Chains A and B, each alone.
Chain A
Amino acid sequence: MSDWVEACAAGDIDEEDVMRFDHAGRTFAIYRSPDDEYFATDGLCTHEKVHLADGLVMDDIIECPKHNGRFNYKTGDARGAPVCVNLKTYPVKVDAGKILIRIG
């Protein structure tokens, strides 16, 4: 149920940036915040299933590259039109320089 999966090395993601991670037929987005914490969400925007990893991270917000739907990637909260459905988030831990996410 609570498998920790290795996604990438901590240094693979720049600060205030995002990376795509595909695993077992699913796609995720892994974020590194400006204050150097890591987060993970589902990889696709809840509006039109666009890969969020092509989008822009500003502070706590990931913005969809296609239609500018915004989410708080720490909580998954949708932040206004055109997105109305929240993004699922996943626990993340850093272990020996590796980023692990728990895919429930």
Chain B
Amino acid sequence: MAGIAIIGAGECGGRAALALRDLGYEGPVTLVGDEPHLPYERPPLSKDAMTGEAPAIKAIATDALFAERAIRHIHSVRAVAVDRAAHVVQLSDGSSLPYDKLLLATGSVPRQLPMLGLGSRCVYLRTFNDALAMRAHLSAGSRVAIIGGGFIGLELAASARKLGAEVIVIEAQPRILMRGVPAEIAGIIHKAHEAEGVSIRTGQGLAAIADDGKEVAIALADGQKIVADLAVIGIGAVPVTVLAAEAGLAIDNGIAVDERLRTADPDIFAAGDCCSFPLTVYGGRRVRLEAWRNAQEQGALAARNMLGADEAHAAVPWFWSDQYGLTLQIAGLSDEGKSIVRRDLDDGAFILFHLAQDGRLVAASGIGPGNAVARDIRLAEMLIAGRAKPAPEALGSQAVKLKSLLAA
């Protein structure tokens, strides 16, 4: 028995390996990752790992646990080719790894700026080592330019301010968080950053960026010049698909899989950031999600299906972001909505419910201090999964418990 090979040892791959053992699979399980670390949680990289005195890895398993569960973790090695006919993966250390079932959990990498020749003062954030490199240039008074007003950029802006750095965020779109966050909530986050002393320049293209290894000189499209000690580039992520593409598997904004996370090859599955899949809850709309919980859920689902479960991905997309004392949580895809109902909670927190034309609840976006919106967003997620059409008046009234709508 060749067993199950998992390429990519991030949240998704790591969870898949553990899930296989939880499910009682007794064959060989091999987890291959190109980083030197155990699988670890990436969300803290832009938050606690950046502001803590000594950034530490939050691993999802220990070497001892992997040993106890007979999971072989091969680190610092890439998969370079898949021979589908022979059921063998070629690794960058020259060895070959046979498989009965193969899971591609290759993740995503930061989208690169098209400018060439950027040096050590222009950084992207994906790995723990990236976080360490960035942290070395962050301190009180250091000048930080953040290219891209998305989640990574804004979380890093908040962390850099906590350390006392001077922070400018440059966003090409007319507002921050254009993708997937309603304008009203993006506006609250924008104000929170300005109140904390971050300068945000929206609608600003980048004309030039030069990095001499000591400083970064940035020219904006309108002619403004910015000099920074560090430029952080957070302009999105692209799925890692080259291994799958070279193996002849279909690519469609990610490794294309069905709702059971299978590629066209019955022995190859893909999960997490690297794959696009039809989202059952929105009638099979093909999406690719870059989210921690999705990586975790799909890793576990792929494990079940590799063992024959034949189960469709039914989860509602969900993610969160922490900036200063605020937490944002979004369940569902808000662009599926046609109208919005607002529900005000205590302490200035609120939730926007996004309803489709036919009244179906398709998404909920909430923001507030601490975990003020968490419980209602979780309930909204269940309503979305159940394709509920709750009365807008009930959604809008804090007096009506969302839990009471679940049974309806």
Binding site for B on A (CB under 8 A): 16, 50-51, 54-56, 63, 65-68, 81-82
Q: In the complex, are the beta carbons of B371 and A54 less than 8 A apart?
A: yes
Which secondary structure characterizes the binding site on chain B? helix
For the A-B complex, the count of residue pairs with Cβ-Cβ distances under 8 Å equals: 36
On chain B, the residues within 8 Å of A54 by CB distance are 370-372, 374-375
Q: Which of A16, A51, A63, A67 contacts B293 (CB 8 A)?
A: A67
A98 to chain B, nearest CB (A): 25
Binding site for A on B (CB under 8 A): 15, 18, 41, 60, 292-293, 296, 300, 320, 370-372, 374-375, 378-379, 403
On chain B, the residues within 8 Å of A66 by CB distance are 320, 371, 374
On chain A, the residues within 8 Å of B378 by CB distance are 55-56, 63, 65, 68
21 examples of A-B residue contacts, CB within 8 angstroms: A50-B371, A51-B371, A54-B370, A54-B375, A55-B371, A55-B375, A56-B374, A56-B375, A56-B378, A56-B379, A63-B378, A65-B374, A66-B374, A67-B292, A68-B378, A81-B15, A81-B18, A81-B296, A81-B300, A82-B60, A82-B296
In the docked arrangement, what's the CA distance between A65 and B375, Å? 6
In the docked arrangement, what's the CA distance between A63 and B403, Å? 14
A53 to chain B, nearest CB (A): 9
In the docked arrangement, what's the CA distance between A90 and B375, Å? 24
B398 to chain A, nearest CB (A): 15
Query: What 12 new A-B contacts, CB under 8 Å, besides A66-B320, A82-B296?
Result: A50-B371, A54-B371, A54-B375, A55-B371, A55-B378, A56-B378, A56-B379, A66-B374, A68-B293, A81-B15, A81-B60, A82-B60
9 nearest A-B residue pairs (beta carbon): A65-B374, A54-B371, A65-B371, A56-B378, A56-B375, A54-B374, A81-B296, A81-B15, A65-B375
